[in-house]
Amino acid sequence: MKNKRKVLKKVLKNKSVLLGVSGSVASYKAVDLIRRLREEGLSVTVVMTEAAGNFITRLSLEVASQNRVCTDLFSNPMAHITLPANADIFIVAPATANIIGKFANGIADDILSTCFLSFKGKVAIAPAMSWRIYENPFFQDNLKALLSRGVVQIGPDKGSLACGEEGMGKMADIATIVERIKSMLTKKDLQDEKVLVTAGPTREFIDPVRFISNRSSGKMGYSLAQAAFRRGAEVTLISGHSTLDRPDGVKFISVETSNDMLDAVNKEIESSTVFIMSAAVSDFMPLEMSEEKIEKSGELFLRLKQTPDIVSEVSKKRKRPFIIGFAAETGKHTERARRKLKEKNMDMIVFNDVTEPGSGFDADTNKVIIIDEEKETELPLLPKDSVADAILARMIEIRA
């Protein structure tokens, strides 16, 4: 994953996070949060409250962040100025009702609340507390006051809480917090775009229990949808069967067959400015689907017909969006990708050799060549998130 770090470091290059940790049973999760943020190439500096020290040691946070952790106002008298001044974003996770109350009322009686007052940039809080406190009107007033001043709220979720009760107050999961931070740090260069993405495989039914499909996991398409959303686009994701979590902030439409996918695309395409066809649509479907489960007896011959070519249907439309397709090839057949680009009348095609190690189906990484009329851009093996960003960057360049 050396490559992953190198590239992501480029995306969030030189960005630093000031992480405030207040005292909650969720404080231990800060270690994981720091680890994930550093994996994304961000540097992290921690300030913690005295109460947080009851739940997690300063040493753990120093080891995780590889930076000195500040715990009080006076041991480093300038820390409340220098730490916020050097940070690009300020995130408090977990954020207790007490620290939220201090922030909302301008109280600065410890290192964390004082850093909040002196920080000039974007702030996010990830509340964590009992549902009883979360619902309390005094707390809700404080929360509203912060939100009305532009503080971003991440979570909490509903779930089983440390006190043993169920309710709203569980700190948002780390992946969600990391995604929101990445989004807050990303330039919104797709602000006015409506991006339609397809992902995953289609299933073509032979009978009610059997189908023809392929190995697509949806990872490439989900990364594209999330990356477009992070860059400010309004995003719709049409997905075949996938076990992945739905991307944050994205309108999600679930489909099974190629005909379902075509219907969903037709409904959404009119309002889209960019269409990204990364789904692995099955090329063939049974000529007829049996209404009943076919009984097992000897050999079975299936007659197949071609599925509708979704991307070609879209590119034929009079008013069509910018179209990005994919070419899944077994071998370095870039000439086939170029042919598909032309025949299907697309604006860009992303060639991936699905037989290369770490590339194509179900992998977390992909090795692609972005092909358009002007040039071919060959990328090294990269995490699908980074591939998605590179595809969007090239699209923006072409349309500029």
List interacting residues with ligand PMT (CB under 6 A): 200, 216-220, 258, 277-281, 283, 307, 309-311, 325-328, 340, 352, 354, 360-362
- CA-CA distance, 372 to 375, in Å (whole number)? 6
Active site residue 115: no
Which candidate in 63, 81, 147, 163 is catalytic? 163
Q: Cβ of residue 395: shortest distance to ligand PMT, in angstroms?
A: 14
Q: In angstroms, what is the minimal distance from the CB of 274 to ligand PMT?
A: 14
Structure tokens at 88: 């690009």
CB–CB of 308/257 below 8 Å?
no
Q: How far is the CB of 80 from ligand PMT (least distance, A)?
A: 45
Find the radius of gyration of the CA atoms of the chain.
Answer: 25
Q: Find the shortest distance in angstroms from Cβ 229 to ligand PMT.
A: 17
Is the link from the previous residue into 156 a cis peptide, with omega within 30 of 0? yes
Length of the chain: 400
Give me the DSSP letters along 322-335: EEEEEEEESSS-HH
Single-letter residue type at 139: F
φ, ψ of residue 68 to 5 degrees: the values are -60, 140
Nearer to ligand PMT among residue 92 and residue 279 (C-beta): 279
Q: Which is nearer to ligand PMT, 251 or 336 (CB)?
A: 336
Query: What is the Cα–Cα distance from 26 to 186, expressed in whole angstroms?
Result: 27
When the beta carbons of 234 and 385 are compared against ligand PMT, the nearer one is: 385
Cβ closest to ligand PMT, residue 85 vs residue 244: 244
214 vs 273 by CB, closer to ligand PMT: 214
CB of 203 to ligand PMT, least distance (A): 13
Do strands 304-306 and 284-286 pair parallel, antiparallel, or not at all (unpaired)? Answer: antiparallel
Residue-wise burial string across 279-299, b where 16 or more C-beta atoms lie within 10 A, e elsewhere:
bbbbeebbeeeeeeeeeeeee
The residues pairing with 137 across neighbouring beta strands, listed in sequence order, are none
What is the smallest separation between the CB atom of 198 and ligand PMT, expressed in angstroms?
7
Contact 219, 201 (CB under 8 A): no
State which H helix or E strand residue 212 sits in: strand 210-212
Nearer to ligand PMT, 232 or 286 (CB): 286
Active site residues: 163
